[in-house]
Amino acid sequence: MKQLHKQSSTNHRRDEEMPSGQSPPYSPKSLKHPRSLPRSLSYLLKEQRLLFILVGILIGSTFFILQPSLSLLNPSSSPSARPHPLVSSVDHESERTSGSWSTSLATTPGVKQSHLNKGTGRVPVGLGRRRMRVVVTGGAGFVGSHLVDKLLDRGDEVIVIDNFFTGRRDNVKHHFGNTRFELIRHDVVEPILLEVDQIYHLACPASPVHYKYNPVKTIISFSSFSCYPDSTNVMGTLNMLGLAKRIGARFLLTSTSEVYGDPLEHPQKETYWGHVNPIGKQREVIFSGVRSCYDEGKRTAETLTMDYHRGADVEVRIARIFNTYGPRMCLDDGRVVSNFVAQAIRKQPLTVYGDGKQTRSFQFVSDLVDGLVALMESEHVGPFNLGNPGEFTMLELAQVVKETIDSSATIAFKPNTADDPHKRKPDISKAKELLNWEPKISLREGLPKMVSDFRNRILNEDEGKGNK
């Protein structure tokens, strides 16, 4: 040990004694000397090291370039890539969970946008929209089934509630097997508990033949049909408003131009309070044609809707729908367009009630559905008239039907029904201004679309394949 110590101290002294100007044999600093550059280059070039480095860089950059497209092909591989709202194949159960979480947020202005961005980081603001869970009561009916088509098309989950009083499974059977679609047989006069963001309330017999069949159920149910037609309007609407209140969902009521009764104002604005005869003729038998069960039922439904809005803070929307036609209407429901079309196809005379000079306006169903969705998504309560302002007398309508289906069709006149409105034409300036909505399809364009559907169904009926 002593020897070692001695040796190191000797070396130390030697260093100190080294004459200045003589360079040491090796120092790490000498690597920075320019003369050593060719040595590093030759190090890189030896044994193909440079080639390996370049191949590594190439592989790395290829991965980073392709990674976004790969994660789109396989969403589960990337935790950040949650399903886009418009992608239809989804994990149903996980969406159920997020549906209940989002219910209250959806109804809060201002929160919606931030919610929208959450979990969809790759979608620029304003381009994506969160998927909704939506209930459509009466969704197996004429208007309801077209609304369901639109909601499913845009990526929502849709639950249809229907008692099939006037609706048909066939109207929605093309969605069977779609994991975002559910159909529940249920009468809205009975309560139901569901977890959704929006409720479109359409369940109600809408044609005179049907709503006059059981007027008490019409008024109570907006209506259910056991024995009181108004019951669907009152109890059905009450139940759906109760549901909306409980779960914080937005509620849309499909009211009607019938709330204007036989109007004294023309065209009808939303500010007009209407002219409905609640009594009918004193001696009239209940099933013979009093229409006030429908008119007053809807008026009561509007009142209930506004009371829930004011008193319970429920977010509500009210649409007043004017005559609408299109594929999937009931064949023999007593509404004038379906009557004329079915009669012309069956080579029967077209029935005109009264002198045929009473007017109506006719809206194609896709226009109405666009209006309903625009209203539901807007920040306006309403009421809004949704209808086509084009006005036709019954005789003019019969003429268009003849031109479209059978020019040789004849007309049979019958006495008019009680309280049939003389004029009906919507003023839609409010919907134009606030919803940016107006109908696009004229009667002459829309009618042929309906005729082909009616022809097929009448043919099937004739062949004994009616699907009711």
Going by their DSSP bridges, the two strands 157-162 and 133-137 should be labelled as parallel
Among 106, 116, 140, 252, binds ligand NAD (CB under 6 A): 140
Q: Taking contact as CB under 6 A, which single stretch among the options 7-15, 117-125, 133-141, 151-159 is the one that binds ligand NAD?
A: 133-141
Residues 299-338 that bind ligand NAD (CB under 6 A): 321, 323-324
Q: Taking contact as CB under 6 A, which single stretch among the options 66-74, 139-147, 176-184, 277-285 is the one that binds ligand NAD?
A: 139-147
Q: Which residues contact 466 (CB under 8 A, 6 or more apart)?
A: 457, 460
Q: Taking contact as CB under 6 A, which single stretch among the options 40-48, 218-226, 398-406, 432-440 is the one that binds ligand NAD?
A: 218-226
| By CB under 6 A, residue 366 contacts ligand NAD | no
| By CB under 6 A, residue 292 contacts ligand NAD | no
Among 107, 256, 338, 358, binds ligand NAD (CB under 6 A): 256
Sign of CA dihedral 55, 59, 65, 66: positive
353 catalytically annotated: no
In sequence order, the β-bridge partners of residue 200 are 136, 252
Q: Measure the CA–CA gap between 225 and 386, rounded to whole angstroms.
A: 27
Sheet order of strands, 250-256 included: 181-185, 157-162, 133-137, 198-201, 250-256, 316-321, 384-386
Among 103, 120, 198, 224, binds ligand NAD (CB under 6 A): 224
Q: Measure the CA–CA gap between 245 and 297, rounded to whole angstroms.
A: 21
Buried b (16+ CB within 10 A) or exposed e, 152-163: beebbbbbbbbb
Q: How far is the CB of 66 from ligand NAD (least distance, A)?
A: 50
Closest CA to 391 of 356, 423, 438, 353: 423
Q: Which residues contact 5 (CB under 8 A, 6 or more apart)?
A: none
| By CB under 6 A, residue 141 contacts ligand NAD | yes
Among 208, 236, 261, 327, binds ligand NAD (CB under 6 A): 236
Residues 170-199 that bind ligand NAD (CB under 6 A): 187-189
H-type alpha helices, 263-364: 292-312, 336-345
Q: Taking contact as CB under 6 A, which single stretch among the options 32-40, 123-131, 220-228, 416-424 is the one that binds ligand NAD?
A: 220-228
Residue pair 449/410 in contact by the 8 Å Cβ criterion? no
Q: How far is the CB of 394 from ligand NAD (least distance, A)?
A: 15
Among 155, 167, 261, 327, binds ligand NAD (CB under 6 A): 167
| By CB under 6 A, residue 239 contacts ligand NAD | no
| By CB under 6 A, residue 120 contacts ligand NAD | no
Say which of 200, 228, 260, 294 is annotated catalytic: 294
| By CB under 6 A, residue 371 contacts ligand NAD | no
Q: Which residues contact 204 (CB under 8 A, 6 or more apart)?
A: 138, 211, 218, 221, 222, 223, 232, 233, 236, 254, 297, 298
| By CB under 6 A, residue 254 contacts ligand NAD | yes
- Residue recorded with tokens 């000498």: 30
Residue 417's SS3 state is: coil
Q: How far is the CB of 168 from ligand NAD (least distance, A)?
A: 7
Question: In a 10 Å sphere around its CB, with 0-12 CB exposed, 13-18 middle and 19+ buried, how is residue 215 labelled?
Answer: buried
Prior bond to 267 cis, omega within 30? Answer: yes
| Total chain residues near ligand NAD (CB under 6 A) | 32
| Amino acid making up residue 278 | P
| By CB under 6 A, residue 135 contacts ligand NAD | no
Which residue lies nearer to ligand NAD by CB, 118 or 422? 422
Among 156, 157, 162, 296, binds ligand NAD (CB under 6 A): 162
Which residue lies nearer to ligand NAD by CB, 155 or 236? 236
Residues that bind ligand NAD (CB under 6 A): 137-138, 140-144, 161-167, 187-189, 202-206, 221, 223-224, 232, 236, 254, 256, 321, 323-324
Positions marked active-site: 294
